[in-house]
Amino acid sequence: MGRTHLDRLRPGATLRALLTRSGALMAPGAFSPMAARLAEQAGFEAVYMPGGGTALDRLGVADVGLLTLDEMVGNARAIVASVEVPVIADADTGFGNALNVQRTVRDYEQAGVAALHIEDQVFPKRCGHFHGKELLPLEEAAHKIAAAVAARRDDSFMVIARCDALSVAGLGEVQRRCVAYLAAGADMLFVEASTAEQVQAVARSVPGPLVFNMAAGGNVPALDVEEVGRLGYKLMLLPNFASLAAIRAIGEVYAEMRRIGSVTTLGDRIARFSEFTALGGLEQFDRIARQFGGRRAGEPAA
């Protein structure tokens, strides 16, 4: 689905229109512009920038809150610039208190992101599927969501409240918190669940539009998008599968190169160089260079 100039100015409006359809919208995780372009080429109508995948790609570290706001926004901006589809982005805890949250929203919105999610953990956070998470007091967490909503310049920009209370304090606390986050103005609710029973219980008992996170860790069931939609979820995130695929594929290629001291056996396991340049838009750059009288992008200087 191509986007008009107006859509690019209001990516949240494009995302909201996609979410009005029946069923759930799939948004695969894209840790980099390259991964985002591949997702778009595969036909996905939205992509998701995961915090964990970004941390591993940018710093080579686990999702324990080491990335800064500028690092996350920089990656989000590059991903947005690389695709036509709307981008949903992890914003961790908003990187501090309500004042920090407001700066976070403004920076992500200026980067062209369609939606972000802010979680109710203390700062620095931990991945939702790690042990040792600590929750903010409910009142403080709700105030941060209200601050995020107040900071956006475009009402179509979506603020998603992520609740990590299920494994810490149980379903009753999740319900209490989600009601408060909706009252604070959250557009959607993202409850981190780890089992099939929890996924179903959240769908039955938590009000408002829901996000389903198809995480690779824990005991999250491998539901398909139709089943996710039938349960009542509107957005299905698949955060780190591109990272997992890259880890396995790159590791195997490196091991083979090291073992035989050559690339002769790689064959169909790697993309062709023409695919490499096509994904980077070389043909388009060459066309622009010819249009304005310069040499082609791939040509050496005289």
Can you tell me the distance from the alpha carbon of 76 to that of 271, in angstroms, rounded to the nearest whole number?
A: 26
* Distance separating alpha carbons of residues 65 and 59, to the nearest angstrom: 11
CA dihedral 15, 240, 212, 40 (to 10 degrees): 30
Catalytic-role residue among 16, 37, 152, 162: 162
Query: Of 10, 16, 75, 90, which residue is the catalytic one?
Result: 90
Catalytic residue among 40, 109, 119, 187: 119
Active-site residue, from 127, 129, 164, 178: 127
Is 63 noted as a catalytic residue in this protein? yes
**Is 283 tagged catalytic?**
no
Catalytic option among 107, 192, 233, 240: 192
Residue 45 catalytic? no
Catalytic residue chosen out of the listed positions 10, 37, 117, 126: 117
Count other C-beta atoms under 10 Å from residue 134's C-beta. 12
The catalytically annotated residue of 7, 92, 164, 187 is 92
- What proportions of the chain, in percent to the nearest 5, are helix, strand and coil? 50, 15, 40
Annotated catalytic residue, options 48, 108, 181, 233: 48
Among the options 178, 187, 213, 233, which is catalytic? 213
Active-site hit among 63, 109, 120, 187? 63
Q: Is residue 268 annotated as a catalytic residue, yes or no?
A: no
Q: Any idea of the CA torsion for 38, 43, 44, 47, to the nearest 10 degrees?
A: 30
Question: Is residue 90 annotated as part of the catalytic site, yes or no?
Answer: yes
Can 154 be counted among the known catalytic residues?
no
User: Is 92 an annotated catalytic residue?
Assistant: yes
Residue 286 designated active-site: no
**Residue in this structure with the two tokens 């539009």, named with its chain if needed:** 209
Find all residues with CB under 8 Å of 66, minimum gap 6, and list them.
55, 59, 124
Reply yes or no on whether 117 is catalytic.
yes
CA-wise closest residue to 184 among 134, 114, 120:
120
Indicate if the alpha-carbon torsion angle 228, 229, 231, 232 is positive or negative: positive
**Can 48 be counted among the known catalytic residues?**
yes
Tell me which amino acid residue 180 is.
Answer: A
Say how far apart CA 226 and CA 21 lie, in whole Å.
13
Query: Which H or E run includes 89?
Result: strand 87-90
- Distance, in Å, from the CA atom of 15 to the CA atom of 17, rounded to the nearest integer, reads 5
Active-site positions read: 48, 63, 90, 92, 117, 119, 127, 162, 192, 213
